[in-house]
A and B are shown apart, each in its own frame.
Chain A
Amino acid sequence: MKKISVDHLARVEGSGGISVTIDGKVVTDVKFSIFEGPRLVERLTLGKTPEEDVNIVPRICAICSISHKYAAIRAMENALSVKVPSKVVQFRELMHLGEMIESHSLHLYYLALPDYVGFPNAIAMASEYELEVKIALEMKGFGNHIMKTASGRYIHGENPVIGGFGKFPSKEELIWIKNRAIQFMPFVLKTTELFCKLDYPDTPEDDTIYACCNPGQKKYGFAGDEIILSTGEIIEKEDYKNLTNEFLVSHSYAKRSRYKGEPYSVGSLARINNLGERLKGKAGKMYKKYFNHRWEKNPLFNNAAQAIEILYAFERIPKIIDKMLKLPDPPIVKYTKKEGKGTGIVEAPRGLLIHSYEVSDGFVSFTDIITPTAQNAEDIERYCCIAAQKLLNSGEEDKIRDRMELVVRAFDPCISCSAHMAEVKKAPEEDWKTKLDKIMKEGSPIFIGVGNRNRSDDGAGIELALELRKHGIKDILLESEINEREAPWKNRNYRPLVFLDAVDFREKPGKVTLVPIHYIFSNSALSHRLLPFISDEMNYERLKNSFVLGVQPKSIIEGKKISRPVRQALTRVLELIVN
């Protein structure tokens, strides 16, 4: 057997939490923690047959069990060169749509909607929205019924196998499903309208990269052989590691992913953003009616995107069944190959799911599974940070906890972690001296003086930088000396950056404050002309390691000298850095 060097577990659904740490006016830390214990799923598939692997891996997550099975089968069929007939392809799509309907309607009605109409759960919501809750249950039940028909039972059905299905449904059963899908249409349209029209708050909003399966030219869908990004880039499924670049963090048993150093998002919203233009029929009309630029940067619109996808699924089902009815039931395709490597990608309801295997001598020798919530974790933290900081700036600290829950829940991380999870922590307020001391101890920082010397206190940053240079401190830069190519934030060595600037915090003149740089970005009142352009250039890792040492100016008047309190402050900072 081959030796395995990189392995990891792909289990994120279950118990998780999010916490934000606030230090005075600044959000200093956000952690999306997964408390779910380690299961080492990838390790326990090693040495199993490909069939046994397909039995085991759906147990990673009950809510996406069909998607896991589908991805695993696709990967194994690629590895073992198995080609399946058209009816199998159709039936697989049908079972997958069943899971989409079930999972999306569960998420929208049971989990998301209670937040927007002010109830602790869907059962309580039934007192006021009885019809909606009842029909939503019916709709979810219909998704379950399709899954049961296709896989054998609601959860972890074993009917889909490598090479086809153990058994196909009767014509009567298929016709029943088709008719039921058509009957549901009025309620489905209502659902789509309801969730597209919900009043989604604009906190948080920010650009991100979206990634999803490309189901083929001009098609919408939930499976494919390549990954498409909102940047327009295409990644072949075998090269998935170029997208995911996984790494570990010490507060989660699920690994994290970043694309070119940036967090990215997967899920319904990613699919609608990347492929929405391709939607036809009623789903296409809804997309045209409701899609706008806010959908491109606000994760809360994932709810609306899921509602459009439910509509897509209901429109698609009758078409698939018509095709299936014309085709005979094929036997399971046999294979003889005992070696091979293969990757399979599908869209789970909550986003891109990747399974990759190597089979040696008939047994699994390498397994790699990357789940959607693991890929979303970084963006979940980032959006929560933006939301928390904005609310803090507008004095609505009491709203932070609920808002973070709303954001996390919108990402639909498998459902058991989406209730009761947000926590707001207050850090002991640290003064700038302690913070600066820490930064200087952890890595030698580069100081960058920013400002305008002709405008009194606005020159504080430049003045301080020049003084530091006089005292023989290395790695001092002035704003004017930075030409784009050599910009220190483009360097990948990630030494901390400390910008020295006059910053208006509405404090007493001369007050020194040290804050993470994102605080300046999120608070437009403070933004300096250099900073917006930096924010575009810096990657996520860089942002986390950059700070602004700000001095409260007394006045910013053309032609005047630096005021007394600011000058005294500069002396204090200088002494600390030099000593």
Chain B
Amino acid sequence: MEKDKNGKLKIGIYELTGCAGDALLILDCEKELVSIFKAANIQSFLMAKSDNIDGELDVALVEGSVTTEKEKEELLDIRKRAKVVVGIGTCACFGGIQAVFLDKKEWEKNFKKVYGDIKMKHVKPVQSKPINAYIEVDYYLPGCPIGKEQFLSTFNRIIRGNPPELYGFPVCVECKWNENDCLLNKDIPCLGPVTRAGCGSICINHNLPCVGCWGPVEDANLTSEFKLLREKGFDYDFIKKKMATFSGTGMADFLGKLEGEKK
């Protein structure tokens, strides 16, 4: 990657449809924020500044899922301008909560329930999808929202031209580090065994079950989690809905196969 005349990489932070939590999390790095702006040339960051430039970029951080035609075009344009694209947050990585209607007909039905037959004049809606449905994504930084520690370490590595390093293990591992009692042993439905780590097992630290908001970890043993919850006596549909809440496309294959099995 080339640095600008001041020796800084050009970085853009973009938001598609989502809760803006990942961009806000970056603003929430109060102590580090000035350093972030000093360490890199932040070309575009709508939430933080009004003098944004849409030019060539070294790195683009993209939050949110694609839900309108306009966002699709924006995303394609970002890909053209940026050498590296990083998806930040569960929405960008997996489509987020709004990607629960994966079936197009199901989505259309629900869209009609909400908006009726009104023709939107400003932007055309599309079914919510993660950014990799439209462009090639170099790295992913999941989280709902992303974690501060993981963001800062990723940012640090990126501005030095290194790829980010994600935790390749589930929340369960962090939970053990924190010496929590296992909630599954108490028959509470917890998604810790299949969800990507990085949050510090925050919910279980508060005696509450993991809801899976960071999406599935690579090589998650979904079958085993499903069987375990079935053994605990939870209803088939209940488990399926719980696993699908935040995972969007992340567990779609697995959940799709389940449907087949049931039939």
CB-based contact A153/B199 at 8 Å: yes
Chain A: number of interface residues, binned into ranges: 35 or more
Q: Would A36 and B17 count as touching, CB distance under 8 A?
A: yes
Kindly name the residue among A33, A36, A41 whose own CB sees the greatest number of chain B CB atoms within 10 A: A36
By beta carbon, the residue of chain B nearest A165 is B206
B137 at the interface (CB under 8 A from A): no
Q: Mark B104-121, 1 if CB is under 8 A from A, else 0.
A: 000100110111101111
- Is A137 touching B67 in the complex (CB atoms < 8 A)? no
Q: Is B21 part of the contact surface with A, judged by Cβ < 8 Å? A: yes
Query: In the assembled complex, how far is the CB of residue B202 from the closest CB belonging to chain A, in whole angstroms?
Result: 5
Name which residue of chain B comes closest to A61, CB basis: B19
Do A251 and B122 touch (CB < 8 A)? yes
A158 lies within 8 A of B211 (CB): yes
With A39-B67, A137-B30, A250-B120 as contacts: A62 and B111 at CB distance below 8 Å: no
**A121–B13 CA distance with the chains assembled, in angstroms:** 15
Given A415-B47, A420-B46, A40 and B245 contact (CB-CB distance below 8 Å): no
Nearest B-chain residue to A134, judged by Cβ: B34
Q: Which residues of chain A are near B121, meaning CB under 8 Å?
A: 250-251
Contact A167 B207 (CB under 8 A): yes
- Docked-complex contact B98 and A44, CB < 8 angstroms: yes
Determine the chain B residues whose CB is within 8 A of the CB of A13 once the complex forms: 19-20
Residues from chain A with a CB closer than 8 A to the CB of B20 are 13-14, 61-63, 414-416
Q: Please indicate which of the listed interface residues A4, A65, A126, A153 has the most CB atoms of chain B within 10 Å of its own CB.
A: A153
B113 touches A253 (CB 8 A): no
Judge whether A121 and B48 touch: CB under 8 Å: yes
Which residues of chain A are within 8 angstroms of B64 by Cβ–Cβ distance? 14
Q: Do A121 and B49 contact each other (CB < 8 Å), given the known contacts A156-B21, A158-B203?
A: yes
B122 touching A416, Cβ below 8 Å: no
Residues facing B in A50-106 (CB within 8 A) are 52, 55-56, 58-63, 65, 106
Q: Tell me whether B154 is interfacial, beta carbon within 8 Å.
A: no
- Please measure, in the bound complex, the distance between the C-alpha atom of A251 and the C-alpha atom of B115, giving whole angstroms: 12
Q: Is A215 an interface residue (CB 8 A)?
A: no
Within the complex, the shortest CB–CB distance from B121 to chain A, in Å, comes to: 4
CA of A4 to CA of B175, assembled, Å: 40
CB <8 Å contact, B28 and A154: yes
A14-B15, A47-B241, A155-B21 given; A419·B50 CB < 8 A = yes
**Distance of B32 from chain A, by nearest CB (Å):** 10
User: How many A-B residue contacts, CB cutoff 8 Å?
Assistant: 195
Contact A43 B113 (CB under 8 A): yes
Neighbour of A62 across the interface among B17, B120, B128, B145, CB < 8 A: B145
B contact residues around A48 at 8 Å (CB) = 241, 245
- CB within 8 Å for A39 and B68 given contacts A121-B48, A155-B25: no
A123 touches B120 (CB 8 A): no
Query: Is B70 interfacial (CB 8 A cutoff)?
Result: yes
B96 on the A face (CB < 8 A):
yes
Residues of B within 8 A of A415 (CB): 20, 24, 47
What residues on B are CB-neighbors of A154 within 8 Å? 25, 28, 145, 148
| Chain B residues whose C-beta falls within 8 Å of the C-beta of A4 in the assembled complex | 113
Closest B residue to A31 using CB positions:
B122
Q: Does residue B231 face the partner (Cβ distance < 8 Å to A)?
A: no
> A59 contacts B206, CB within 8 Å?
no
Q: Is the interface of B mostly helix, strand, loop or mixed?
A: mixed
Which residues of chain A come closer than 8 Å to B100, judged between CB atoms? Answer: 44
A42 to B114, CA, bound (A): 9
Q: Across the interface, do B245 and A56 meet the contact criterion of CB distance under 8 Å?
A: yes
Among B22-36, those with CB < 8 Å from A are 22-25, 27-28, 30-31, 33-34
Closest beta carbon of chain B to A176's beta carbon, Å: 17
Q: What residues of chain B lie closer than 8 Å to A158, measured between beta carbons?
A: 202-203, 206, 208, 211
A248 touches B118 (CB 8 A): yes
Q: A61-B20, A248-B116 are in contact. Are A121 and B51 (CB under 8 A)?
A: yes
User: CA–CA, A216 to B210, complex, Å?
Assistant: 37
Contact of A38 among B25, B115, B203, B205 (CB under 8 A): B115
Per the bound structure, the CA–CA distance linking A165 and B119 in Å amounts to: 44
Interface assignment of A340: CB less than 8 Å from any CB of chain B = no
Nearest CB of B to A526, in Å: 32
Q: How many residues of B contact A (CB 8 A)?
A: 68
Q: Contact at A250–B28, with CB atoms within 8 Å?
A: no
Kindly provide the distance from the CB of B48 to the nearest chain A CB, expressed in whole angstroms: 6
- Verify B203–A152 contact, CB threshold 8 A: yes
The distance from the CB of B52 to the nearest CB of chain A, in whole angstroms, is 6
A316 CB → nearest B CB, Å: 23
Contact (Cβ within 8 A) A39 B47: no
B161 CB, nearest partner CB in chain A, Å: 24
Specify which chain B residues have a CB less than 8 angstroms from the CB of A38 in the assembled complex. Answer: 67-68, 111, 114-115, 125
* Residue ID in chain A nearest B242 by CB atoms: A52
Contact A166 B97 (CB under 8 A): no
B residues near A403, Cβ cutoff 8 Å: none
Instruction: State whether A121 touches B50 (Cβ < 8 A).
Output: yes
A360 contacts chain B at the CB level, 8 A cutoff? no
A43 CB, min distance to chain B CBs, angstroms: 4
B159 to chain A, nearest CB (A): 17
Least Cβ–Cβ distance between B246 and chain A, in angstroms: 8
Q: Which residues on the A side are within 8 Å of B145 (C-beta)? A: 62, 154-156
The digit string for B35-48, where 1 denotes a CB below 8 A from any CB of A, is: 00100000000111
Q: Identify the interface centre among A110, A121, A124: most chain B CB within 10 Å of its CB.
A: A121
Residues of A within 8 A of B148 (CB): 154
Give the shortest distance, in Å, between A560 (CB) and chain B (any CB).
50
Which among B30, B37, B46, B120 is the interface contact of A416 at CB below 8 angstroms?
A: B46
Which residues of chain A are near B48, meaning CB under 8 Å? 110, 121-123, 419
Partner of B34, one of A33, A39, A126: A126
Q: In the complex, which residue of chain B has the Cβ closest to the Cβ of A248?
A: B118
Segment 159-187 of A: residues with Cβ below 8 Å from B: 159, 161, 165-167
Q: List 8 A-B contacts (CB under 8 A).
A: A40-B111, A41-B98, A55-B245, A120-B50, A137-B30, A154-B25, A154-B148, A420-B50
Question: Which 5 A-B pairs rank lowest in CB-CB distance, beginning with the nearest?
Answer: A37-B67, A62-B21, A166-B206, A121-B49, A39-B98
| Interface, chain A (partner B; CB < 8 A) | 4, 7-9, 13-15, 33, 35-44, 47-49, 52, 55-56, 58-63, 65, 106, 110, 114, 120-124, 126, 137-138, 140-141, 144, 152-159, 161, 165-167, 248, 250-253, 414-416, 419-420
